[in-house]
Amino acid sequence: MGAATLDQIWAEAPTEGAAGAKRLRLPPAKLWLRLWAAYAALCFAGISALMIASGTLIDAQNYFASYTERTIADRFEAHAPLLRAAIALPEAERSHSVEAAAATIAANLLDLQVTTDLNGRFLLTAVSDPRVRVEVYGLSGEMLTQAAYTAGGEGAANPRRIRAVFPIAATDGRALGEARVDYAARYDFWKNVTGKAAWAVAMWPITAITSIVIGLTCGVVSARYVTSRLRRVDAVAARWRMGDFSKRISLASGDELEAHAERLNEMARELQTHLDLKQAVAVADERNRIARDLHDTVKQKLFALGLQIAAIDAKARSISKADGPRDDVFGDNIAEAEAITREAQRDLVEIITQLRPTGENNADLPARIAPIADDYMRRFDVAISVSGGDGLKAGPRAEVNLIRIIQEAIANAIRHGGARNIRIAFDRTGPRRRLTVADDGAGFDPQTIKKGLGIQSIEHRAGELPAGRAAYASRAGAGATLNVSWREGLADD
């Protein structure tokens, strides 16, 4: 069973609505619509609360500004002519008129109203349940009449009282009597708030229209902000689905969206590393398997074949000995078959050696190459030296590439050049690292040679190194030198 590809994983993920196909499908609510609804509701609540709060505050201020002796005097004076006219009447007729005038004044005083800057008129009864009493006295101090009014039921408990006495005089200055006003009121916060709440409720159509307009504006603007960024995320995610993890989301918005994008980027990086690792492991496993299979099958059979050829040779010799001197017809073919078998064995050993895993990757490069070099020396009777590069690390991928390059160069030197000595060296020039594999073999002309898979793979692997390149320098009869260089510091993955 192979590892599931990303597409498979996506294909198997449950898709929305698959189970509830029979359910009523509403069109998906767009983000701007949801935001609109939320902003409008918030706005409505906010405006209403603001209306209640500010109205309450203003009326409280108005109460304390208007409930003063001065305002009471003003209101009294406004209606005083009525009382003056009534009291000036002859005694027999005035009683009824004075009563009516006192009642009018008391009623007008009760709803002590002032003109305010903000809402024009303020009624004291909006925030209080006042009580007012007006008594009218004649010149000799006898009470002519009294009138009392209460705004709400019993009137306020524990009221603050304002008492005032107003002399009543005729137009020529003659004293006619006096009026005493007793005014009792108390600021009632609850009455104030509930009154303003009722006002806010009554204003709901205006509040609603305002809220809808503001909500729509805010909803559309913020939805555009979010969706434009999500679209960018989506575009990159689409690349990721296609297996291209090199793309990164860049938002630079400095908010939660950017933080999210960064986490997604991090996830993509991890996924990439994970996939690379998985691939590397799979490749290594496959190489191991092939090496093992070749070893267990072809190599054993080649060995057996060698034995058979040796047996044929022995038999042929004994037959030809019996028949006479050995200049038999098979001799050459047998020798040729033996040579081919030996060559095949040699090739196979070389292939198996190359398939070997590249060893522990926490050691430095010379340490990782040493066992490989030993292996070649043991099998092929060559001297291989490794110099320089102490502590050299180049990142996991680059190191595997370098090791495979070295293996191929050694194999070429032995197989094609028939080299006896191979020198592997690491050195550095400026910011660049260099690997040299030099042999004392037959050499070749790099210009005219037909590149095989080996040289092609050397070049390909060098190309994967940071700013890496590879080139053979060689002349027929003068050995061959492979130079590979790459930029240090840009460690891969």
Ligand X SMILES: Nc1ncnc2c1ncn2[C@@H]1O[C@H](COP(=O)(O)OP(=O)(O)O)[C@@H](O)[C@H]1O
Residue numbers at the binding site for Mg ion (CB under 5 A) = 412, 454
Counting contacts by CB under 6 A, is residue 443 touching ligand X? yes
Give the separation between CA 398 and CA 414, rounded to whole angstroms.
25
Q: What is the DSSP letter of 298?
A: I
Which residues lie closer than 8 Å to 256 by C-beta, 6 or more apart? none
Counting contacts by CB under 6 A, is residue 449 touching ligand X? yes
* Shorter beta-carbon distance to ligand X: residue 200 or 455: 455
Question: Using CB under 6 A, which of 47, 156, 352, 455 touches ligand X?
Answer: 455
Question: Using CB under 6 A, which of 417, 424, 426, 485 touches ligand X?
Answer: 417
Interacting partner of 215 out of Mg ion, ligand X, none (Cβ under 5 to 8 A depending on kind): none
Interacting partner of 441 out of Mg ion, ligand X, none (Cβ under 5 to 8 A depending on kind): ligand X
**What does the DSSP assignment read for 195-230?**
HHHHHHHHTHHHHHHHHHHHHHHHHHHHHHHHHHHH
Counting contacts by CB under 6 A, is residue 442 touching ligand X? yes
Give the separation between CA 296 and CA 290, rounded to whole angstroms.
10
Residue 452: CB minimum distance to ligand X, A:
2
Number of helical H runs and strand E runs in the chain: 12, 11
Interacting partner of 417 out of ligand X, Mg ion, none (Cβ under 5 to 8 A depending on kind): ligand X
* Binding segment (CB under 6 A) for ligand X, from list 162-170, 185-193, 436-444, 460-468: 436-444
Which residues lie closer than 8 Å to 135 by C-beta, 6 or more apart? 102, 143, 145, 146, 179, 180, 182
Which residues lie closer than 8 Å to 146 by C-beta, 6 or more apart? 102, 133, 134, 135, 136
Interacting partner of 249 out of Mg ion, ligand X, none (Cβ under 5 to 8 A depending on kind): none
* Shorter beta-carbon distance to ligand X: residue 40 or 409: 409
Which residues lie closer than 8 Å to 413 by C-beta, 6 or more apart? 382, 419, 422, 437, 439, 441, 480
- Give 231's Cβ-side CA count (13 Å radius): 6
Residue 415: CB minimum distance to ligand X, A:
6
Residue 412: CB minimum distance to Mg ion, A:
4
Cβ count within 10 A of residue 443: 21
Contact 414, 380 (CB under 8 A): yes
Tokens of residue 166, six digits = 């107003």
* Binding segment (CB under 6 A) for ligand X, from list 246-254, 321-329, 372-380, 442-450: 442-450
Residue 447: CB minimum distance to ligand X, A:
11
**Of the candidates 434, 420, 437, which has an alpha carbon nearest to the alpha carbon of residue 472?**
437
Q: What is the DSSP letter of 296?
A: I
Residue 437: CB minimum distance to Mg ion, A:
12
* Binding segment (CB under 6 A) for ligand X, from list 75-83, 221-229, 290-298, 448-456: 448-456
* Shorter beta-carbon distance to ligand X: residue 416 or 434: 416
Counting contacts by CB under 6 A, is residue 454 touching ligand X? yes
Residue 383: CB minimum distance to ligand X, A:
15
Counting contacts by CB under 6 A, is residue 481 touching ligand X? no
* Shorter beta-carbon distance to Mg ion: residue 144 or 455: 455
Which residues lie closer than 8 Å to 318 by C-beta, 6 or more apart? none
* Binding segment (CB under 6 A) for ligand X, from list 90-98, 120-128, 384-392, 445-453: 445-453
* Shorter beta-carbon distance to ligand X: residue 207 or 474: 474
Give me the count of residues in the chain.
493
Residue 449: CB minimum distance to ligand X, A:
4
* Shorter beta-carbon distance to ligand X: residue 309 or 419: 419
Residue 337: CB minimum distance to ligand X, A:
23
Query: Between 204-241 and 256-294, two packed helices, what is the crossing angle to 10 degrees?
Result: 20
- Partners of 384 in beta bridges: 422
Interacting partner of 114 out of ligand X, Mg ion, none (Cβ under 5 to 8 A depending on kind): none
Counting contacts by CB under 6 A, is residue 350 touching ligand X? no
Q: Which amino acid is at 333?
A: N
* Shorter beta-carbon distance to Mg ion: residue 197 or 351: 351
Residue 464: CB minimum distance to ligand X, A:
17
Interacting partner of 413 out of Mg ion, ligand X, none (Cβ under 5 to 8 A depending on kind): ligand X
The helix/strand/coil state of 373 is helix
Residue 234: CB minimum distance to ligand X, A:
46
**What does the DSSP assignment read for 140-152?**
TS-EEEEEEEESS
Counting contacts by CB under 6 A, is residue 355 touching ligand X? no
**What does the DSSP assignment read for 59-83?**
HHHHHHHHSSHHHHHHHHHHHHHHH
Site for ligand X in 397-416 (CB under 6 A): 412-413, 416
Give the ranges where 295-388 is alpha helix by DSSP (H).
300-323, 331-355, 365-380
Counting contacts by CB under 6 A, is residue 129 touching ligand X? no
Site for ligand X in 461-480 (CB under 6 A): 480
Q: Are β-strands 120-123 and 113-116 bridged in parallel, bridged antiparallel, or unpaired?
A: antiparallel
Question: Using CB under 6 A, which of 137, 240, 376, 444 touches ligand X?
Answer: 444
Give the separation between CA 432 and CA 467, rounded to whole angstroms.
9
Question: Using CB under 6 A, which of 428, 451, 469, 487 touches ligand X?
Answer: 451
Interacting partner of 451 out of Mg ion, ligand X, none (Cβ under 5 to 8 A depending on kind): ligand X
Judged by the rule CB under 6 A, the positions of this chain that interact with ligand X are: 412-413, 416-417, 439, 441-444, 449, 451-455, 480
